Amino acid sequence: MRALLRTHQTVRLSVVALLVAMQLLSAGCASSQRGQRAGAYFPSRGDWQRRSPAQVGMDSAKLAEAVQFAQSREATWDFGRDQVRTFGRPLGALPEKRAPTNGIILRHGFIVASFGDTKANDPVYSVAKSFLSTVAGLAVDRRLIRNVNDPVADYIRDGGYDSPQNRLVTWKQHLQQASEWEGSLWGKPSDFIGAAEFGAGERKPRVLQPPGSFYEYNDVRINRFALSLLRLFGTGLPEVLKTGIMDPIGASSDWRWVPYDNSQVEIDGRSIGSVSGGTRWGAGLWMSSEDLARFGLLALNRGKWGERQIVSDQWFSDALRPSEQKADYGYLWWLNTGKVQWPSAPASSFAALGNGSNTIWVDPEHDIVVVWHWHRGGMDALIQRILAAVVD
């Protein structure tokens, strides 16, 4: 039996290694293609130029079919009916209603199609995790984090990393959701046990694994990561995001990153709200499709906006590399390793994904960004239709 288990583990690791190698090769090709493009367009604040499909090498009729499909996939999510049932006791604010499905399609930086109310600022749920990843990129670029493989305990001394289990947790493990951090934060235990606190998302007890050895999608641990970044920057992450990323890319001033009602901490005598990596328990990042599209365009260009490198190219190279424990996951970005997530899309494409469903999909090979707010699935079918419209 032990020999059989060893064989199974060896095969599994070999498959993951193969998928990782395929993704790295694909990413390298996409990077090379992107480097050959000239005259990239970046919209100024309050002014985003549009182009007809023909002007950006797309078929107008086929693109219209893609938009029609997206509009037909209205989400069923209702905050009052679904939030507590799905996720458990809320900790922060939620809107009473949301906008209908809406979105934007970019090619070569220009808006080539849009539908619905793209200025509505609604919760984006776990799309916020990819923003959190990029804020961590600023910390690395500014040398606040010297090496992502460093234990967080070397930087943060608030008691959250004192135990034998937690003192081994690294920044990279948080970014890849493989930290196995143990504890409670803002009234939520990291084991996700209990329907009252976690709703349909509750989990069964399991043995905790060594940090870095096991992937688990876990918002308590992500919130611990966000708190650690707050302490590292010494200021609220919404301000870091605003001044470091959103203002430089010309985003509106309407978006909000809302903390929980009970997530205030004291930093140098100031009370600051620690934000979350999602809206599982309310609050979280509330943002319009237009501002999400700007962020997607920044990711498409690997942190560069015009002549300014806002987040390092190296950070995006690292963030979009498949993790050892989950080949379709990077640093809080979803990857298309082995074309598993979206069979119709290039393996080099990647996305920020959130409940609702909420999506920022980025395709470096075709120079496309798609934002789709509030849909009930069918992302691969939409991608298939959009790419069918590409003629040049």
pLDDT digits (tens, 9 = 90+) for 303-360: 999 999 999 999 999 999 999 999 999 999 999 999 999 999 999 999 999 999 999 9
- Domain spans of the chain? 2-122+283-388, 129-273
User: CA-to-CA distance for 235 and 242, rounded, in angstroms?
Assistant: 12
User: CA-to-CA distance for 274 and 219, rounded, in angstroms?
Assistant: 13
User: 159-163 — which CB contacts under 8 Å span 24+ positions?
Assistant: 160/185, 160/224, 160/227, 160/228
User: CA-to-CA distance for 246 and 292, rounded, in angstroms?
Assistant: 10
The token duo for 70 is 């997206």
pLDDT value for 28: 46
Q: What is the mean pLDDT of residues 124-148?
A: 98
The token duo for 349 is 């494409």
Q: Is the pLDDT of residue 2 over 50?
A: no
pLDDT value for 39: 73
Q: What is the number of residues in the chain? A: 392
User: CA-to-CA distance for 120 and 204, rounded, in angstroms?
Assistant: 37
Residues contacting 8, CB < 8 A, separation 6+: none
Q: Which one-letter amino acid corresponds to residue 353?
A: L
Q: Is the pLDDT of residue 3 over 80?
A: no
Q: Is the pLDDT of residue 29 over 70?
A: no
Residues contacting 114, CB < 8 A, separation 6+: 102, 103, 104, 105, 289
Domain 129-273 fold is Beta-lactamase (3.40.710)
- Global pTM? 0.92
Q: Is the pLDDT of residue 81 over 50?
A: yes
Question: What is the three-class DSSP state of 18?
Answer: helix
User: CA-to-CA distance for 270 and 266, rounded, in angstroms?
Assistant: 5
pLDDT value for 22: 47
Between helix 219-233 and helix 127-141 the angle, nearest 10°, is 30
- If pLDDT is split at 50, 70 and 90, which confidence band does 8 have? very low
- If pLDDT is split at 50, 70 and 90, which confidence band does 24 have? very low
Predicted confidence (pLDDT) per residue in 269-280, tens digit = 999 999 999 999
**Residue 63 in contact with residue 105, Cβ under 8 Å?**
yes
Predicted confidence (pLDDT) per residue in 162-207, tens digit = 999 999 999 999 999 999 999 999 999 999 999 999 999 999 999 9
User: CA-to-CA distance for 250 and 344, rounded, in angstroms?
Assistant: 32
Q: Return the percentage of the chain with pLDDT > 90, whole number.
A: 90
Q: Please give the full DSSP string across 351-369, using - where no structure is assigned.
A: EEEETTTEEEEEETTTTEE
Q: Which one-letter amino acid corresponds to residue 283?
A: A
Q: What is the mean pLDDT of residues 26-34?
A: 44
Q: What is the mean pLDDT of residues 45-71?
A: 98
DSSP secondary structure letter of residue 310? S
Placement of tokens 């709703």 in the chain: 199
Closest CA to 346 of 33, 13, 15: 33
Please provide the distance, in angstroms rounded to a whole number, between the alpha carbons at the two ends of the chain. Answer: 55
Between helix 60-71 and helix 379-388 the angle, nearest 10°, is 170
Predicted confidence (pLDDT) per residue in 207-250, tens digit = 999 999 999 999 999 999 999 999 999 999 999 999 999 999 99
Backbone angles phi, psi at 49, to 5 degrees: -70, 145
**Residue 187 in contact with residue 262, Cβ under 8 Å?**
yes
Q: Return the percentage of the chain with pLDDT > 70, whole number.
A: 90
pLDDT value for 367: 98
Q: Is the pLDDT of residue 4 over 50?
A: no
